Amino acid sequence: MRNPEEALHKTKELIGQGFGVLEVCGAFEQKQVDEIQRIAQEKLCIGRVAYTPKQEEALERYWM
């Protein structure tokens, strides 16, 4: 998923398909992760991936 809005939509779909864990990109802000968790209720475990500073440079290029 390339943005938080897509993640929110996809969360419901993943729950319906029986997924139990969702890891989002470290570029997602905590408030966005909290919103995904709110939608998922307790049906998904939500994790946020962290990147090293060097990897963050590549991530920034990806999002641009």
Note if the pTM is more than 0.85.
Answer: no
Q: Where are the domains of the chain?
A: 4-63
Amino acid identity, position 4: P
| pLDDT tens digits along 11-46 | 989 999 999 999 887 778 889 899 999 999 989 999
Tell me which DSSP letter residue 19 carries: -
* Separation between Cα atoms, residue 24 and residue 40, nearest integer Å: 13
Grade residue 1 by pLDDT with cuts at 50, 70 and 90: low
